[in-house]
Structure 1
Amino acid sequence: MDTIATDYLATWNAQGEERNSLLHKHFADHATYTDPMAAAAGTAELDAVIGAVQQQFPGMTFTQIGDVDSHHQQLRFQWGLGPAGEGPIVIGFDVIVLDDDGRIADVRGFLDKVPA
């Protein structure tokens, strides 16, 4: 499950064709994503959400905070978003549910710390 979290965050950090490739590799075509700021259904909408976050926080990187907790086909972990090598300015918590093929089918995101 650690690999799933790593691949998930790599997708959020990628741009252009690399992000598109990672989305199709790690996410089910019908994947859904929901957090307090956005909702997406399918890889095209998720690509747009990730692109919008990258525009809002240019040059920032998603990193994992702490360990992954998992059971059955679901995992949860905390992440941070901030300048490379510095502390995060945004901290969140995601729950990921995998499909029967081990691809990401659903993500529920929570924001624990956001800038004022």
Structure 2
Amino acid sequence: MTETTVDAHEQLAQYVRFWNTGVEREQRACAEAAFTDGVEYRAQIGILTGAQALIDFRDQFAAHMGTVTFRLREQPQVHHGRARLRWEILTGDDADTSFATGTDVLHLDEDGRISSVSVFLDRAPEGFDPEAHD
């Protein structure tokens, strides 16, 4: 791996930590390390802009679902300022129930911070209606 790829993998580890922490101070630290100021997050549920919008989304999801774990299904692929992460969301106190799987495509700026995320569902949650979201 090149030095740039190693740095990107460190940034991607911050991204995973961001989704897995519910402690506000830790979330903000992970967000600051991982995201650019105007990070854009595009998913079927809508388009979110800025780290605060992502923090709010993560917290609302966890409040609704309870214990949530975001884990990678394989090693991320990184090249030319882009990364692909294949993930799974697990729920339950023992993180033993698979909620959904997906793939995130991230754009990294020249400093390696994430400037945008495009989310694709590989296996949507049971009962998910993609037409219910703009």
The code of the aligned residue for 2:90 comes to G
Which residue of 79, 96, 106 corresponds with 2:106? 96
Counterpart contact for 1:38–1:49, Cα < 8 Å: no
Counterpart contact for 2:76–2:85, Cα < 8 Å: yes
Q: Which runs of 4+ in 1 moved over 3 A?
A: none
Which segment is superposed worse, 55-64 or 78-87? 78-87
Counterpart contact for 2:83–2:107, Cα < 8 Å: yes
The yes-or-no answer on 1:73 pairing with 2:84 is no
* Cross-structure match for 2:126: 115
* Cross-structure match for 2:37: 29
CA radius of gyration, larger in: 2
TM-score w.r.t. length of structure 2:
0.78
Shift of 1:87: 5.1
Which residue of 5, 22, 28 corresponds with 2:12? 5
Structure 1: 5+ residue runs without aligned partners? none
TM-score w.r.t. length of structure 1:
0.89
Number of aligned residue pairs: 116
Q: Which has the higher strand share?
A: 1
RMSD: 1.6
Which segment is superposed worse, 85-94 or 97-106? 85-94
Which residue of 112, 115, 119 corresponds with 1:105? 115
The code of the aligned residue for 1:73 comes to G
* Cross-structure match for 2:130: none
Shift of 1:23: 0.6
Q: Report percent identity of matched pairs.
A: 24
